Structure 1
């Protein structure tokens, strides 16, 4: 790429001359001498090899070519100002990137509400969202791969702030054989049908939570895959109640009633990987998250 021969200051002087309508007007506006303005414009024209102004009396009238140059100059100056603003916001403590790890139990609408509010107050920080299961979520705090962690468990050595409740229960498609029994079920009856289980997202260890020992097991790595298999009548699965409200409302899924078992009530926590090193964006996101979580009520 050819190195520019025109400085941002020259483009800015050019813009001001156009706006003020004369070299003297630009000199007064910029608190410079008229000769310095004339020199800057002459050098600009020499470097570009085009004529930008025509003198009409005391007025400097921009040429057609100058008008085209002005459009590009405006964009260039705005980009430069934007870069300086971005640098200023970063120097004020707004981090370029915020990493957030959430459990798949976390209500999607609650997260969306927080993002809407965050976007209104911060335009410079990107957010890298990750979703995990079981120990894969808490590992993000233990090994520092995320700045903020939303988990149903607090990792050893960390403190957590309670956000909101979550409930888990076992569901099947309304036409699944287990649903058609229409009565409380025994664990033995559940084990005779395929169980859909979400795998642990940790690459270092594997926790086998919720496995009943069914004769057939379908293992998936996220909530959507588990829900999809349940909808296809391929088995029963433990699912977060808050994330299947539509399917429950339209009767597509039904909750299994199991002898001596009830819904599993959990609490979701906000865990900081290192609160002392968290930037302005991270603190803002955490604040909004806690505010919105106070308004969240689980639909039982």
Structure 2
């Protein structure tokens, strides 16, 4: 069976007859008739009842026509995808983000990418410390979004500075500093154990 035969089948159904289908597909009526006849012979199934004024699908013909539409739809999807790729659109984009980055901003950006490039598969990794850089170096990600620790370890021509991320200092409620956490200063913290994410 061929795609042309499946197109002929669907056209006869959609346009209500062989003549209308031939006009819609810009083919002769005999070409449409031959395509349907060859399809029926190959499948060993009668697709149309031809006794009436207009050809009507048989019970089996209805099922086959439905399958034919699915095949034609998949074929169009492949064709559209190849067209996008021919224009230079990436088939996949892998992004790794530091866990310190505001995820709402990232998700909003991903939504925009999805709307503009629906055929591109998006993969998002959320990592900490040096993991974003490692994923880039191991070719497991295409774009890394991280803090200064990441920036200091890569070629400066390969990154773009994004808006500053504000970190909020916190104090454990079991710490001696907890009672005065609202007014504590960096000097007050000198000599204390601190965990700083970068």
Q: What is residue 72 of structure 2 aligned with on the other side? A: 77
Quote the Cα distance in structure 2 between the aligned partners of 1:186 and 1:35.
90
Change over 3 Å in CA distance of 1:180–1:27 after alignment to 2? closer
Q: What is residue 158 of structure 1 aligned with on the other side? A: 156
Aligned residue among 6, 30, 36 for 1:41: 36
Quote the Cα distance in structure 2 between the aligned partners of 1:142 and 1:50.
58
Give the number of the structure with larger relative contact order, counting CA–CA contacts within 8 Å between residues 6 or more apart.
1
**Cα pair 2:18 2:32 within 8 Å, conserved:** yes
TM-score (norm 2): 0.81
Structure 1: gaps spanning 5 or more residues: 1-5, 192-211, 213-236, 241-300
User: Which consecutive aligned stretches of 4+ in structure 1 deviate over 6 angstroms post-superposition?
Assistant: none
- C-alpha displacement at 1:143, in angstroms? 5.9
Change over 3 Å in CA distance of 1:238–1:58 after alignment to 2? same
Q: How does 1:53-202 map to 2 (within 5 A)?
A: 53-141=48-136, 144-153=139-148, 154=151, 155-159=153-157, 160-173=159-172, 175-182=173-180, 184=184, 185-188=188-191, 190-191=192-193
- C-alpha displacement at 1:42, in angstroms? 1.0
User: Which stretch has the larger CA shift, 83-92 or 19-28?
Assistant: 19-28
Matched length: 189
- C-alpha displacement at 1:147, in angstroms? 2.2
Alignment of 1:26 onto 2:24: no
**Cα pair 2:171 2:178 within 8 Å, conserved:** no
Q: Which has the higher strand share?
A: 1
Q: Which has the higher helix share?
A: 2
**Cα pair 1:168 1:238 within 8 Å, conserved:** no
Quote the Cα distance in structure 1 between the aligned partners of 2:197 and 2:155.
29
Give the 3-state SS of the residue equivalent to 2:94 in structure 1: strand
- C-alpha displacement at 1:31, in angstroms? 2.1
Quote the Cα distance in structure 2 between the aligned partners of 1:24 and 1:65.
23
Q: CA RMSD in A?
A: 2.5
Structure 2: gaps spanning 5 or more residues: none
User: Which stretch has the larger CA shift, 44-53 or 145-154?
Assistant: 145-154
1:86-132 alpha-carbon deviations (Å, 9 max, x no partner):
11111111111112222222111111111121111111111232333
